[in-house]
Structure 1
């Protein structure tokens, strides 16, 4: 009697922290090159705060999410809120700089608008990654923890396709959501489900719209 060969189950995708940490480092580096014309705070404040946050995060979970530290997650969310606030202050300073009549250097305007826009995308990508279904640790399948309801509905969650049965969103997926929200000013293929993510996406789209419509348009005219 022939034995039926066993079909191996799809491997579980482990959620890793280092892509999000790397994105935060990139944003903090951008804070060091913010043009002085729009700098609302000393340039060292945000990199110092980010470094203070990244050190314990990297120490507890350098590559894989093995230790749950809820207080660190809340600290990261607070830092993200501060980062978004500072970025909004930079945008406000840039708008006032445009209205002062001294904005005659198109390269400064383009550089400032690009830094604000990139910071906006990365900051909200990390925010979506941290809040969706209770955070990356709660989403990790190897941890016996009750997962909260989904905040974002990804296309892979709505179809039954071979090879996608145990799919989990990674940081790149949340980065794509933030990028599309910043370019289309609305959800595209991934739908926000909860009020908190809808509020976050509204704020992100508003910052992006102001940056592109007001600042970038003026910069092109100057150039």
Structure 2
């Protein structure tokens, strides 16, 4: 007799039965109410993104180079003041504050990427390969952080909703969800998991071990891969061309 007890469909049926019976302590952590995740990882990533923005050449910034980073730090300070240690359930104002912070980082990096690509296509002088490569790497790394923040903020309604178990269906399928026997009982996705997802998507230009399930997740990953591919190809090609020029 074939043992099909480990098939994903049967595990999902068992989880549903556990949830219906009220035995929430047996269900995996990502399906039940848990404590909010520590804030340090997402805070560190945002600070890195702000620092990278300050290192960009002035011609690639949307406005005076200090304006957007200062606004981002102010918004980050408000979020930390409201929830200093953990990402706990927030009211709508704090939710919008967090989204506004990510939008500002996305706007600044998107503008820098668009300006850099336009300059390279139009043949604007980038005659110093190390500077070009460092600028392209700056934008690429910030792009990884930006999309990690979006994945983290939108998957199953965001960190607060995930903590409360409000959404039954996940937008991203992690390995630990498919094979809970290989994960500790208190495992649930946190920001570093989404950062890993963003990094692998930017390097492989496709999903690796985390699969997008919802349409918005697929479209967002496709957009990230496109931005990463265009940036890498144009920057590297231009740098090689400069090095080969007499």
Per-residue CA deviations over 1:52-74 (Å, capped at 9, x if unaligned) read: 21111101111123452332222
Q: Distance in 1 between matches of 2:118 and 2:73?
A: 30
What is the CA distance between 1:101 and its match in structure 2? 4.2
What is the CA distance between 1:194 and its match in structure 2? 1.2
Equivalent of 1:81 in 103, 126, 151? 103
Closer/same/farther in 2, CA of residues 110 and 51 from structure 1, 3 Å limit: same
Alignment of 1:29-108 (within 5 A): 29-98=51-120, 99-108=122-131
Q: Distance in 2 between matches of 1:177 and 1:128?
A: 9
Normalised by the length of structure 1, the TM-score is 0.86
Contact 1:125 1:175 survives alignment (8 Å): yes
User: Hey, what does 2:147 align to over in structure 1?
Assistant: 124
Equivalent of 2:225 in 200, 205, 209? 205
Mind listing any 5+ residue stretches in structure 2 that lack a counterpart? 1-25
What is the CA distance between 1:13 and its match in structure 2? 7.1
Instruction: Please state whether the residue corresponding to 1:161 is helix, strand or coil.
Output: helix
Contact 1:38 1:97 survives alignment (8 Å): no
RMSD: 2.3
User: Hey, what does 1:15 align to over in structure 2?
Assistant: 37
Instruction: Please state whether the residue corresponding to 1:212 is helix, strand or coil.
Output: helix
Choose 203-212 or 59-68, whichever is displaced more.
59-68
User: Hey, what does 1:134 align to over in structure 2?
Assistant: 157
Normalised by the length of structure 2, the TM-score is 0.78
Mind listing any 5+ residue stretches in structure 1 that lack a counterpart? 1-8
2:242 equivalent to 1:222: yes
Give 4+ residue runs of structure 1 displaced > 6 Å after superposition: 9-13
Instruction: Please state whether the residue corresponding to 1:164 is helix, strand or coil.
Output: coil
Contact 2:109 2:142 survives alignment (8 Å): yes
Contact 2:49 2:105 survives alignment (8 Å): no
Choose 194-203 or 53-62, whichever is displaced more.
194-203
2:185 equivalent to 1:165: yes
